[in-house]
Amino acid sequence: DPDDGFNYKQMMVRDERRFKMADKDGDLTATKEEFTAFLHPEEYDYMKDIVVQETMEDIDKNGDGFIDLEEYIGDMYSQDGDADEPEWVKTEREQFVEFRDKNRDGKMDKEETKDWILPSDYDHAEAEARHLVYESDQDKDGKLTKEEIVEKYDLFVGSQATDFGEALVRHDE
C-alpha cells in the first residue's frame, strides 16, 4: 500500500529470512521449537542477530545501516506539529546520548542496537509479568485477583506472558 508503506513482498522476504534462520536443521520444515523461534526470536540466542537486523531495518529510515538520534526518536514519537516535546521524549534523547550511543559517534551500530533491544541482563518474561502486575494490581498488594485480571482482560490477551491469551483459555482457576 503506497499510503502506509506496507509491502507484502518485503514482508515475505523478511519472513523467509527469519524462517531460514529458525530452521536449524535446514530441512525447510519447522519443528515446534523452530516455529517458536520464528515467532519469538528474541527468546533464542541463535535468533538474536535477526532481531537486531529487523529492528535496524525498521528504524533506519535513511538506509545508512545505523540508527541516528532522530530515527531513534522518530520510532517512538511523531511531533505532528507540536512545538513542545513531552518530557519523556527529552528523557529518551538523553538516554540515546548518554547510554545508547556508547562510542559517541551520533548513531547506534549493530552492537549498540543489540545492547539496547536485547540487554544481556534483561529477562523478557519477568519484565512482561511485572508489567502485567503493575498495570492490573488495582489495590497495589502485589497480587492479582481474578477480578483484577478480568478488569484488564485486554492487556492479558495481548501479552506474550500468557501466550497471547492462550494461558487464560487453558486454565479454569
- pLDDT of 64-101, one tens digit each? 999 999 999 999 888 776 678 888 899 999 999 999 99
Q: Is the pLDDT of residue 44 over 50?
A: yes
Q: What is the largest CA-CA distance in the chain?
A: 54
In angstroms, the CA 56 to CA 54 distance is 5
Q: What pLDDT is attached to residue 104?
A: 95
Measured between alpha carbons, how far is residue 34 from residues 17, 80, 91, 162 in Å? 13, 41, 38, 20
Please report which confidence band the pLDDT of residue 147 belongs to, taking 50, 70 and 90 as the band edges: very high
Confirm whether 96 is domain-assigned.
Answer: no
| Structural domain count of the chain | 1
Confirm whether 38 is domain-assigned.
Answer: no
Give the start-end residues of each E strand in 35-169: 67-68, 107-108
Confirm whether 130 is domain-assigned.
Answer: yes
Q: What pLDDT is attached to residue 162?
A: 55
Q: What pLDDT is attached to residue 173?
A: 47
Please give the average per-residue pLDDT across 34-54, as a whole number. Answer: 95
Give the tens place of pLDDT for each residue, 119-145: 877 676 787 888 889 989 999 999 999
Q: Is the pLDDT of residue 166 over 80?
A: no
Confirm whether 53 is domain-assigned.
Answer: no
**Measured on CA atoms in the order 37, 41, 43, 48, is the torsion positive or negative?**
positive
Confirm whether 141 is domain-assigned.
Answer: yes
Q: What pLDDT is attached to residue 164?
A: 46
Supply φ then ψ for residue 108, to 5 degrees: -100, 130
Give the three-class secondary structure for 139: coil
| Domain span holding position 138 | 124-157
Confirm whether 119 is domain-assigned.
Answer: no
Confirm whether 163 is domain-assigned.
Answer: no
Q: What pLDDT is attached to residue 153?
A: 83
Question: For the purposes of burial, counting CB atoms within 10 Å of the CB of 30, is it exposed (0-12), middle (13-18) or buried (19 or more)?
Answer: middle
Q: What pLDDT is attached to residue 24?
A: 96
Please give the average per-residue pLDDT across 21-31, as a whole number. Answer: 96
Measured between alpha carbons, how far is residue 151 from residues 13, 103, 141, 157 in Å? 40, 45, 16, 12
Confirm whether 82 is domain-assigned.
Answer: no
Reported as type and span, the H/E element at residue 15 is helix 8-22
Give the three-class secondary structure for 68: strand
Q: What pLDDT is attached to residue 85?
A: 85
